Amino acid sequence: DWNMPDYVSEAVARIREQVGDEEVILGLSGGVDSSVAAALIHRAIGDQLTCVFVDNGLLRLNEAEQVMQTFARSLGVKVIHVDASDKFLGDLAGVTDPEQKRKIIGREFVEVFQAEAQKLPRAKWLAQGTIYPDVIESAGAKTGKAHAIKSHHNVGGLPETLNLKLLEPLRELFKDEVRELGIALGLPHDMVYRHPFPGPGLGVRILGEVKREYAEILRQADAIFIDELRAADWYDKTSQAFAVFLPVRSVGVMGDGRTYEYVVALRAVQTQDFMTAHWAELPHSLLGKISNRIINEVRGVNRVVYDISGKPPATIEWE
């Protein structure tokens, strides 16, 4: 029988016993799993935990500020904020292939994280927000059962060469239990119930070559989309919703002038397991409002389209 307060104190005791007086390092992405892991471990061992938050230049609007606000300022967690956006965007210049982009972003993350870990020689443990479904999935991958169409690079994908012991306090939990635990630990509702966000971030939502200019346009369009979904009470009725930047220009009119600007696609899906998904039947009036706001407020965009493809045959992400 699942009782949250008991679970928290048992988990805290277990972590204290495991770790003793040693130090722990954790890659904080701002996603649900690493956030709950960080909050739980911090509850157990306080300043023996150091989190590393890597800004890869492919995060959503204000994401870094929100993570620092929640963890560093509200909860008092030690967080090292690394702005590595120049490094990531520099290495992505000229690269258009989606899998190549994923590889570069994954590799960069490992390099940046490793460099930070080396500055913390007292850390003996690497904490990760691995949850039960990840454990099953990677067991499947080893026996060849997984059929991932896209390589996945999460904060979890750190090499064994770090020579750290693994601390994975969420290994036995399902996603809904992780969320409940996050609430019990005082994390904000919006963080704990946030839609999933891929490890490569906006890197796979900017089709083809990633440029800082495109990322800035996409961040603004995506923020408007998500704001309006929340305001209309549609956010929690969708499993994942986001904007995609299409590096295609089309003709428009503004006043007496002709414009020639980029296209933003909106994607919103409903799914149980993310293996199959339906496009969300958002009200036309809501789509109209979002489209007007994006076109009026985001410079460089004159056309918004809505993706009405199911998975399969389309995937949820466009890359």
Annotated binding residues for ATP, as ranges? 29-35
Q: How far is the CB of 294 from ligand XMP (least distance, A)?
A: 21
Which lies closer to ligand XMP via its Cβ, residue 197 or residue 214?
Answer: 197
**196 preceded by cis ω (within 30°)?**
no
Backbone angles phi, psi at 244, to 5 degrees: -125, 135
Q: How far is the CB of 276 from ligand XMP (least distance, A)?
A: 9
Sheet holding 49-55, edge to edge: 78-83, 49-55, 23-27, 123-127, 165-167
Which lies closer to ligand XMP via its Cβ, residue 18 or residue 309?
Answer: 309
Tell me the CA end-to-end span of the chain in Å, nearest whole number: 41
Which lies closer to ligand XMP via its Cβ, residue 209 or residue 317?
Answer: 317
Q: How far is the CB of 283 from ligand XMP (least distance, A)?
A: 23
Q: How far is the CB of 203 from ligand XMP (least distance, A)?
A: 9
The DSSP H or E segment spanning 89 is: helix 85-92
Cα(64)–Cα(206) distance, rounded to whole angstroms?
Answer: 19
Cα dihedral sign, 33-290-200-56? negative
Which lies closer to ligand XMP via its Cβ, residue 278 or residue 311?
Answer: 311
Cα(90)–Cα(94) distance, rounded to whole angstroms?
Answer: 9
**In this structure, which long-range contacts are made by residues 215-218, counting pairs with CB atoms below 8 Å and at least 24 apart in sequence?**
215/57, 215/58, 215/89, 215/245, 217/245, 217/262, 217/264, 217/298, 217/299, 217/300, 217/301, 218/243, 218/244, 218/245, 218/264
Q: How far is the CB of 150 from ligand XMP (least distance, A)?
A: 5
C-beta separation of 235 from 252 below 8 A = no
Backbone angles phi, psi at 56, to 5 degrees: -95, 5
Which lies closer to ligand XMP via its Cβ, residue 274 or residue 281?
Answer: 274
* Residues whose CB falls within 8 Å of the CB of residue 173, separated by 6 or more in sequence, listed in order: 131, 132, 181
Which lies closer to ligand XMP via its Cβ, residue 288 or residue 312?
Answer: 312
Write out the binding residues. 29-35
Residues at the interface with ligand XMP (CB under 6 A): 102, 149-150, 152-154, 196, 198-200, 240, 274, 311, 315-317
Q: How far is the CB of 154 from ligand XMP (least distance, A)?
A: 5
